[in-house]
A and B are shown apart, each in its own frame.
Chain A
Amino acid sequence: MSECGELSEKLMGEQGAAGLGVGPLAAVVERSRDGIVVVTADRRYVYANPAACRIMGYSLEELRALPDFLANFPEREHQAMLEHFAEQLSGETGLWTSTLLRPDGTEREITWSNMSFEIHGRLHGAAIFRDATEARQAGRNAAALGQAAAQLAGRAAVADILGDLARHAIAGTRAVACAIGLSGATDELRTGAAVGVPQAFRDISLSNGLRVVDLPDGDVVMSNRVAVVPDARTRWLNGPRPDIGATLQYLDWQAGVHVPVSWGDEVLGALAVFLPSTVSGPTEAELAFYTALGDQAAVAVINDRLLTETGQASALQERARLARELHDSVSQALFSMTLHARTAQLAMEKQDLPQDGPLGRSVAQLRELSQGALAEMRALIFELRPDALAEEGLMAALRKQAAALSSRTDLRVTVDGPEERLDLTPETEEHLYRIALEALNNTVKHADARTATITLTVAGERLELAVNDDGVGFATSGEHPGHLGLRTMQERASAVGGTLEVESQPGTGTTVRLVIP
């Protein structure tokens, strides 16, 4: 029989005399999974069963050597323990929660009840307790997940949600740090959140081409499985991205857990947990919690994506609706006005009324204004309709914009190009259209030109788009107005495999020329 057992038998002897039987009762106490301790009125241990010894982290001898049971509790608990103990000795009982302090400095949360009794006429206190650390942590973790879900419902920003998830990983487990990275349009991690990691890690990991597959066992994560990496710290240094691994050397850690942030088969990113060097790996509960956090991150990302798409779809629908309304109402009315104005002119001709008289000039002006308003309205409707360019084609789009610009400004814009629809991809048409509009926009803003011409020529595989004006021109070698728009045009030119050049000199007008290929 163990030391604890001998003592329990000694203690149980009093009750054994009451007919309960020494052997069986001692066995119950000794085998109980709940901790049972007995202390004297001056707070010294006289007995602890094996479960109590295990939970408290002491042997019975060590417990009995302690001068005061308060040594088993963090200082913040002392006052409450003294009050409970005083009540206990006065005959009261209760059910409590407290925190134990183990000899290695770690803490365990317990739920316990107490009572008092006399042994050989001396007052003693007894407590029965159980370790509630995991259960309470699980409860807190569940609450954390619930909080994350509430954030989702509240449409918090993804970055904020990810930050909170990373904080939960540290607060709810033994992790010293946690980082969540999300892949951008390429496989490279572009956005995310990190808690507990060095600033250098944050700076490099999201801006220097790190991919999920570059993580230790990243291929496992990419196959949508959780990777527990006991030697993650070392493998970072010896892996494809030692530069990032080097930033983690100042952190006291060794094992890592890499959880895919995924939706269906799509791996959106990864959640990386860094465990302290004293820990060989995560517990089952921790692993489950990390996985749940990864799932929450995925939900946050997908939720945000759907909200964005929904918002965009709503905006597109609203634009299309507005375009239809404008077409059916204002545009038709303006078209009718142009017809009426021309009808009036024809009627005046028949009646030999002078076109240059007051009435003739007014009708001509009315016709010009209505024709200009119609052109502007058609251009506006065209811009509002999301599918207008794809539906009507590049040349029609350019002609609409040219007509609108001509009616709105003093610039006369002509379009010269094929009548038939060009065989271009929608993306190429979009880029060419935007390049031409940007060039025209620069002409209007900066060139002080009277005329501009958009010329589009196609010869075999070669396509050339030129926007020419007769404005003041500029020195292309220096800083000039519209240079930011020029950069955008050049990016668009690159996107369609073409080159864009600007030909201009002060006083000679400007030509923006795109050539594909």
Chain B
Amino acid sequence: MLIVEDDPRVRSALSGLLASEGLSVVGIAATARDALEVGDWLDVALVDVRLPDLEDGLLVIRTLAAEGHPVVALSASAGARAASLAAGARAFFEKDSYPDALLAALHRATS
């Protein structure tokens, strides 16, 4: 699993949660550029839609999805849902939802 998230606190918390759920985190990226470099060998990517080095994470979603990787989009804004799904994300998780909803979305994406 690849986590693409610019906030280190969130990256760390996500890593811990996913690890405790038995999901293997093989890559962590803080920027869209890093994400696209490690994107070749992942099975699923969890991508924050708002990234600092590009207009947003939609490019990452679009690129990874085009390469056949399952992507779950993550955002604090519900307004990003439609664009994320249109870019190819299989699921969208809003950051104020319960963590279990995120885990369920990741399991669905990898199944």
Which residues does A use to contact B, with CB under 8 Å? 327-328, 331-333, 335-340, 342-343, 346-347, 350, 371, 374-375, 378, 381, 391-393, 395-396, 399-400, 403, 420-421
Contacts and interface: CB of A to CB of B under 8 A. Distances in A.
B76 A331 contact: yes
A399 B76 CA distance: 13
Nearest to B96: A378
Contacts of B17: 339-340, 342-343, 346
B82 interface: yes
Interface string B23-51: 00000000000000000000000000000
A378 B97 CA distance: 11
Q: Which among B7, B14, B78 has the greatest number of chain A C-beta atoms within 10 A?
A: B78
Contacts of A374: 95-96
11 contacts: A328-B7, A336-B13, A337-B13, A339-B13, A339-B14, A340-B17, A343-B13, A343-B99, A392-B79, A396-B81, A399-B78
B76 A327 contact: yes
A251 to B, nearest CB: 60
A343 B16 contact: yes
Contacts of A393: 78-79
Contacts of B12: 336
A331 B75 CA distance: 12
B96 A339 contact: no
B111 interface: no
Contacts of A350: 20
Q: Which of B12, B13, B96, B99 has the most CB of A within 10 A?
A: B96
Nearest to A421: B82
A348 B37 CA distance: 36
A391 B13 contact: no
B100 A342 contact: yes
Given A335-B10, A335-B96, 12 more contacts: A332-B10, A335-B95, A336-B12, A338-B98, A339-B10, A339-B16, A347-B20, A391-B79, A392-B79, A393-B78, A396-B79, A420-B82
For the complex of A and B, 8 pairs with smallest distance between CB atoms: A396-B78, A339-B13, A392-B79, A336-B13, A342-B99, A336-B9, A391-B79, A346-B20
A381 B7 CA distance: 18
B5 to A, nearest CB: 9
Given A335-B96, A338-B99, A400-B96, A378 B76 contact: yes
Nearest to A347: B20
Contacts of A396: 78-79, 81
B67 interface: no
B55 interface: no
A336 B96 contact: no
Contacts of B78: 392-393, 395-396, 399-400
A207 B46 CA distance: 61
A378 to B, nearest CB: 4
Nearest to A387: B79
A62 to B, nearest CB: 89
Contacts of B79: 391-393, 396
Contacts of B14: 339
A375 B21 CA distance: 24
Given A331-B76, A332-B7, A346-B21, A340 B96 contact: no
Interface string B64-103: 0000000000001111011000000000000110111000
Nearest to A348: B20
A396 B10 CA distance: 22
B77 A392 contact: yes
A225 to B, nearest CB: 50
Nearest to B102: A339
B86 to A, nearest CB: 12
B9 A333 contact: yes
A327 B80 CA distance: 15
Nearest to A391: B79
A148 to B, nearest CB: 48
- Which of A339, A396, A400 has the most C-beta atoms of chain B within 10 angstroms of its own C-beta? A339
A400 B96 CA distance: 9
Nearest to A337: B13
B103 to A, nearest CB: 8
B99 A332 contact: no
A337 B17 CA distance: 11
